[in-house]
Chains A and B, each alone.
Chain A
Amino acid sequence: MALDVLERQASDAPGLDEREFQWTLNFGPQHPATHTTLRLVLTLEGEQIIHAVPDIGFLHSGFEKLGEDLNLNQYVTIVDRMNYTSPLCNEIAWHHVCEKLLGIELTPRCKYIRVIINELMRIQDHLLNIGTCALDLGAFTAFLYAFYQRELIYDLCEHASGQRFHSSFTRVGGLLYDVDDAWIAKLRSFLKGFMKAYNDVTGLLNRNKIFIDRLRGVGVLTKEEAINRSATGPIARASGVLRDVRKDDPYLSYPDFDFQVVAAKEGDCLARYHVRMLEMLESHKIITQAIDNLPSGPVNVDVDGKVVLPDKSSTWRSIEGMIQHFELTMSNRGFKTPVNEVYGAIEGPGGELGFYLVCDGTEKSWRCRTRPPAFYHLAMFPHLIKGHMLSDVVAVLGSLSIIAAELDR
């Protein structure tokens, strides 16, 4: 968008009178605190922000259009690119909705493994958010501790799926591979080491005067505003909205586990930080329960062998497996979908991650709308930052967990 258009909009904001000493400042798209392609046009009066206009859309990725051209299994390679901080959550959300539309009930083992992965991703996402928020506010060591733990989760992803980052691990009706005992052992040792790192980060930040002073009372979101502006996830819970899809609308095997929904009532950046920290503990609790009770059995459902891709060993070593794989991956020969539409959501790390999926009877989706949490959260940014100082921009942005690829699907 042309600079002058945005500048005009920034200064034409209702209730603002044009004054000589107002500045316009472009924050991003290459500012280190904006992480990715995100631009903020700020109107300043001295150091105080009187208006902010977020400008998104720099990626032009067109993920939703691509979804109309790929079948339900292929599109998983696109959805994990929407979220570079916790890609597997998007895959789980996408196939959760596909399975809901097709009416597939997963096997118990698959449900447990997906829960483990979902919670690992939540830890990973929160670590990134806390780490970079701390980094932007000058606490470098906490960032290193958080990122080292993220690396260990990448190792787990690599072990399970063969890919560190964009794993494409889920399939309609199951998973690409089952996990083995070595993976479980690795996960156990991660859980043990994680608690030490968690205590280290807590020790560095929780009573750190600079960190607290930069976050307390900044970017306050009241409960009414949180509901009115469609905030979800940790951001809504930090404002006292006790909604969590894992409890309200249980999916996978979440009803089996004992965990709490973490909430605060202050609604400022500090409350969001605390909610994220405590949520990681709850995730830790869920994973521990899940690996202790991990059911045995297959990971993929077998609905007459017509929906789920056969595992690679049977594709390579048996003629039936090869034919089944061939049939499912040929265009116009894959499984058929109902001519209907469904909205389904999971509790992603950033908030409610939903898909509105419309199918037309073919193996492709007619429309696959993503409901990205970051999109709704960045829309609140002008409201949250108004009246604060320029240096508070990084604190508020860091507490909102903005992911550019999710803003611009």
Chain B
Amino acid sequence: MTAQEAINKLKEVSGNGSISTSEFRDNTRVHVSKDILMKVLTCLKNDCGFDFLVDITAIDYMGYPTATTDRFAVVYCLLNTSEGSRIVVKTMVNDPDPVLPSSYSLWKGADWPEREVYDMYGIRFEGHPDLRRILMPQEFTSYPLRKDYPLRGMGERHNFPVLTRAEG
């Protein structure tokens, strides 16, 4: 199913007003709210043939020129492996408690990218089997890719706890 057919199908399934779409270059994007996210992803995977999860990532829109009140966007890039068509699903989450349902039940490939989004942005995925930091140390407290995290860090590297050989 092409991206356009998939959008028509999604509009049928989830009611016309609840999703909006945008197009730029050859990317077709579907903007959904987080309460119908799982419904949309399930429909795309099972009914529209977008069975391949290419990537999950997040964007921090704090201070962005066209920013709205929502701070973070989580982006799902999907691919139809039988036809090669692509679609991007975008959903917004906001501070202070950014939570989304986990798509691990649909794709096992979502395991690590969701952990990475959690590690870098602090967006939690409910239902993820093993949501812990992946790139940063477990003791790390902030989220490095947020826009309010400084480029040079907050002194973590300079204030590492010193471990003696006996403790190590």
Partner-B contacts on A (CB < 8 A): 1-2, 5, 9, 56-57, 60, 62, 64-66, 68-69, 100-101, 103, 225, 227-231, 241, 243, 248-249, 339-345, 352, 354, 356, 358, 360-361, 366-367, 369, 371, 375-376, 378-379, 383, 408
Contact = CB atoms under 8 A, between A and B. Distances in A.
Nearest to B51: A227
Contacts of A369: 55, 57, 59
A36 B151 CA distance: 26
Contacts, number: 105
B138 interface: yes
Interface of B: 24-27, 51-55, 57, 59-60, 64-66, 75, 77, 79, 81, 84, 86, 88, 107-109, 111-113, 116, 120, 130, 133-138, 144-145, 151
A361 B59 contact: no
Query: Closest 10 A-B residue pairs measured CB to CB?
Result: A230-B109, A248-B84, A57-B135, A379-B112, A369-B57, A371-B55, A229-B109, A367-B59, A229-B108, A1-B138
A2 B138 contact: yes
What DSSP secondary structure best describes chain A's contact surface? mixed
A378 B109 CA distance: 11
A230 B107 contact: yes
A342 B24 contact: yes
B42 to A, nearest CB: 14
Given A228-B107, A379-B111, A379-B112, A354 B77 contact: yes
Given A1-B137, A2-B138, A343 B84 contact: no
A57 B134 CA distance: 7
B24 A341 contact: yes
A5 B138 contact: yes
A354 B65 contact: no
A229 B106 CA distance: 10
A367 B147 CA distance: 10
A355 to B, nearest CB: 10
9 contacts: A57-B133, A68-B151, A341-B24, A341-B59, A343-B55, A345-B54, A356-B57, A361-B65, A379-B109
